[in-house]
Amino acid sequence: MNHGIDVHTHIIPERFPAYAGRGRDVPWPSMADAGCGHAHVIISGKNYRTVPHTSWNVAERTKEMDAMRIARQALSPMPELLSYWLSPEDGKAMCRHLNETIAGMVAAAPERFYGLGAVPLQDVDAAVAELEHVRGGLQLAGVEIASHVNGVSIGDPRFDAFFAAAESLGAAIFVHALRPAGKDRLVGPPQLEQVVAFPGDIGLAAASLVTGGTLERHPHLRIALSHGGGAFAIMLPRIQHGWNVVPAIRESMPRPPTETARRFYCDNLTYAARTLQLVLETFGDDKVMIGTDYPFAVRDPDPHASVDALRPDAALAAALREGNARRFLGVG
pLDDT averaged over 10-residue windows placed end to end, the chain, 332 residues: 93 97 96 94 96 97 97 98 98 98 98 98 98 98 98 98 98 97 93 94 98 97 98 98 98 97 97 96 98 95 95 96 98 85
Other Cβ atoms within 10 Å of 286 Cβ, number: 14
Alpha helices by DSSP H, the chain: 58-68, 88-108, 124-132, 160-169, 192, 198-211, 214-217, 232-245, 247-252, 257-260, 273-283, 303-308, 314-318, 324-329
CA distances from 222 to 31, 53, 218, 219, 268 (A): 34, 31, 9, 9, 17
pLDDT score at 24: 94
Other Cβ atoms within 10 Å of 86 Cβ, number: 20
Residue 259's domain spans which residues? 5-11+61-329
Contact between residue 28 and residue 41 where contact means Cβ atoms under 8 Å apart: no
pLDDT score at 332: 74
pLDDT score at 2: 84
Q: Write down how long the chain is.
A: 332
Q: Is residue 92 part of a domain?
A: yes
Q: Is residue 54 part of a domain?
A: no
CA dihedral 286, 128, 100, 108 (to 10 degrees): 30
Q: Is residue 219 part of a domain?
A: yes
* pTM for the whole structure: 0.97
Q: Is residue 29 part of a domain?
A: no
What CATH number corresponds to the domain at position 122?
A: 3.20.20.140
Q: Is residue 313 part of a domain?
A: yes
Number of domains in the chain: 1
Q: Is residue 98 part of a domain?
A: yes
Q: Is residue 78 part of a domain?
A: yes
Residue type for position 273: A
Q: Is residue 80 part of a domain?
A: yes
